[in-house]
Amino acid sequence: MRRSRRVTSRSGTFNPEDVKRVSHTRLGVWDLYEERAQVLGLRIPGTSRLEHYLSVSQSLPYVWKMLKDISGIQNCWLLLLLYLTVEFIKALLPATSLWYSGQLLGIVQTAVESRTVDKNFLLHVSIGRIACAITERLLDYAKRSISFPLQARLKQHYAVHLFQARARLDLPTFEDPAVQRQLEDASGTSRGSIAWTTFQMISTAGSTAVQIVSQTTVLARILREQQDGPLLASISLLQSVFDWLGGRRGSMGSNNKKRGLHQNARLKTSEFKRAAQRVGDKAADFWEIVREQQFHEKLTLTSLLKDCWRELPQIVFALRAVQHPAHIPVSLASLNLIQGTTQRFGFTMYRFMEQFGSIADQLGNVRKLYEVVNISNKIPDGTVPFPEVAQKVKTGVSVEFRNVSYRYPGTDEYAIRDVSFKVGPGELCVIVGANGSGKSTILKLIVRLYDPEEGEILINGQDIRTLKLADLRQAVSVLFQDYTHFPLSIRDNIALGNPSEAANDEHVRLAARLGGAEEFIERLPEGFDTYLNRPVSDYYSGLPEGTHKLFGRPVDYSAMRFVGNMSDKSTHGLSGGQMQRLAVARMFMRSIVTEDSPVGLLLFDEPSASLDPTAEHDLFARLRDLRGNKTMIFSSHRFGNLTRHADLILYINDSVIVETGTHNELLKHGGEYARIWSLQAEAFL
């Protein structure tokens, strides 16, 4: 039974087809979907701003948690304190230099009016002004020096946080595109981690506040004695505030919208030119079009009024000068100071907006960063410990499928349909069938990467959904087709099968021997210490191939590459078959080499796909020796080597099991298995 897609009002859900909640705009070749703001189920114009503030308030507990977490990181609080102290002192500097500027302009004005200069005061003020500039430079240096280790520690802390969040997800949840987007959002941007960007944003916001308060205070003190000073300063400051509010509106509107994009043009290369002419300017990149749209939105009556406001201080000054020619209510020096200060305000605010975009968005990102650890898994954990008696798994476990059917999420076709079979403890079962018939799916269901839609799977007579997931996976060892090798040494790659035995060289070698990998590993110059895809980059590889001279100088970096363990350009490449043997070795490391291994069931998904016939024969011979010790289930397209020795063969076709039995039984039956067997046998005759 498929669940229908419901339109919900739950926050965080988004259905682009819901016209009540989603508005659609065509932007060039793009479709822009935006969620309409809703309060009490009604569309009230202007409520989106309210929602922004509500979302900020919802994010605040997460921001507080983040700050607490950051201060808990080793030695981080000291760096934090230093950083904030430097930021605070830096924030006071503009006000200090403003004060000195005021004094300097005052000296100039006195010199013009009365032809006298207080030289000592001038010297004092000049030194102060220069000291401010030097201090600012030194504080910048200190701030950057502190920010490097601080940023690195935050990055490391949150890398672990995100790793744990990902690692606890089961496969169907992880594969869910919505979860993928959530994880992507929580990972931050190339400019830095969410935690670091938010911390910077908060400290810059604090610093901006300190700057505004301190500069306004100094300005007020300087202008106190001047009759029109406060009036002109207010007019100029209002200008900055308008600019800032205008900037904030634009930024919030553009950044916080949920967007679903569909690129409409799917073009064949041959038609590209004609189609490009047809779409014309509309074919621009999405952000280009958004920017263009925002640019046009900027020419408004308010923006024109703001420009007029900018001219107001000078006009007011000129009018007042005409009104009181004998004694102008504010000095020219002060007017200059007011305008300089407000310009700086404007710049500070603008930089703040530029750097951090919308505060609501950034705080929302912190929420996402913490919410990823709460994503609920689609495969619920069981409660029953397995096995009840550890000894029981040592000779294998029984596996039974009862009328199991399964469809992958988002598909209508059954991957397996009404599958039933039973494999006894210590038995060897081979599932054979064509590509896409459902073999791997059976193996994936046994380890509960997915749960069946119908039917049940039993291990030692117990429904696997009732068993503790960790226990179930402990008892099963799987070798899937798409195994991964890590950028580590061969030894480490094998030892990953059982990290607690990583230091046991004998076990690693035994696993390699059983996997058929020992011989080729020994032949490698660095043997078990050979690195697979060593994570190094060649600093000199930017030179075109065959470059021997550069600017008249001979170029040979081979010595450097040798030192960096890069004797040639590529790292040690292993063949597909050798990679597969390593994967088998890792599986044996986990399940076979230790006597008290808790693994009772081995699952192999095409373990010999890349092996040559001799290697395949040897591997299967070794596996047959294990018969009776572990239950083994294989998936394979090949008939022969293994099927002849199987206790049970399942021949699966088009998601349904069509024949079951031993090799001899199926040959006698003379069905599809017998037909394909004779086809493959003929090919080798």
Ligand X SMILES: Nc1ncnc2c1ncn2[C@@H]1O[C@H](COP(=O)(O)OP(=O)(O)OP(=O)(O)O)[C@@H](O)[C@H]1O
Q: Rule CB under 6 A: which residues touch ligand X?
A: 408, 411, 415, 433, 435-441, 635, 637
At its nearest, how many Å lie between ligand X and the CB of residue 185? 23
Residues 411, 416, 418, 422, CA torsion sign: negative
Nearer to ligand X, 83 or 421 (CB): 421
Residue type at 602?
L
128: CB partners within 8 A, 6+ apart? 96, 100
Q: Closest by alpha carbon to 67, among 209, 196, 206, 208?
A: 196
Closest distance between ligand X and the C-beta of residue 388, in Å? Answer: 31
Cα distance between residue 224 and residue 222, in whole Å: 6
Under DSSP, the state recorded for 354 is: H
User: Which contacts of 417-420 are long-range, i.e. CB under 8 A and separated by 24 or more positions?
Assistant: 417/655, 417/656, 418/454, 418/455, 418/656, 419/455, 419/652, 419/656, 419/657, 420/455, 420/657
For CA atoms 654, 657, 662, 668, give the dihedral sign: negative
Q: Which is nearer to ligand X, 434 or 560 (CB)?
A: 434
Closest CB to ligand X among 345 and 406? Answer: 406
C-alpha distances in Å from residue 613, one per residue of 136, 610, 676: 73, 10, 18
Q: In the numeric block, which tokens belong to residue 293?
A: 């749209």
Nearest approach, Cβ of residue 436 and ligand X (Å): 4
Distance CA 143, CA 232 (A): 35
Q: What is the DSSP letter of 228?
A: T
Q: Which residues contact 567 (CB under 8 A, 6 or more apart)?
A: 561
In terms of CB distance, is 59 or 580 closer to ligand X? 580
> 365, 157 in Cβ contact below 8 A?
no
Tokens of 95: 């006000």
Nearest distance from C-beta of residue 653 to ligand X, angstroms:
10
User: With respect to ligand X, which residue has the nearer C-beta, 198 or 635?
Assistant: 635
Smallest gap from Cβ 475 to ligand X, in A, equals 22
Write down the least CB distance from residue 387 to ligand X, Å.
27
Q: What is the rounded CA–CA span in Å between residue 210 and residue 233?
A: 18
- 393 Cβ contact list (under 8 Å, min separation 6): 387, 475, 598, 599, 600, 601
**Cβ nearer to ligand X, comparing 2 with 569:** 2
**What is the rounded CA–CA span in Å between residue 27 and residue 17?**
18
Query: CB-wise, 15 or 481, nearer to ligand X?
Result: 481
The minimum distance between CB 408 and ligand X, in angstroms, equals 3
CB of 435 to ligand X, least distance (A): 4
Return the number of the residue (495 or 603) whose C-beta is nearest ligand X: 603
Beta carbon of residue 670, minimum distance to ligand X (angstroms, whole number) = 23
For residues 425 and 387, give the distance between their C-alpha atoms in angstroms, rounded to a whole number.
13
Q: What is d(CA 217, CA 224) in angstroms, rounded to the nearest whole number?
A: 10
User: How far is the CA of 345 from the CAs of 216, 239, 242, 654, in angstroms?
Assistant: 10, 10, 12, 71
CB of 438 to ligand X, least distance (A): 4
For residue 286, count other CB atoms closer than 10 A to its CB: 15
- 31 vs 170 by CB, closer to ligand X: 170
Place of tokens 């793009």: 30
**Residue 172 or 340 with smaller CB distance to ligand X:** 172
Smaller CB separation from ligand X, 449 or 592: 449
Whole-number Å distance between alpha carbons of 328 and 575? 88
Answer yes or no: are the C-beta atoms of 652 and 439 closer than 8 Å: yes
Give least dist CB 411 to ligand X, A.
Answer: 5
User: Is the CB of 517 or the CB of 603 nearer to ligand X?
Assistant: 603
Shortest distance (Å) from residue 416 CB to ligand X:
7
The partner residues of 39 in beta bridges, in order of sequence, read: 42
Cα(200)–Cα(501) distance, rounded to whole angstroms?
44
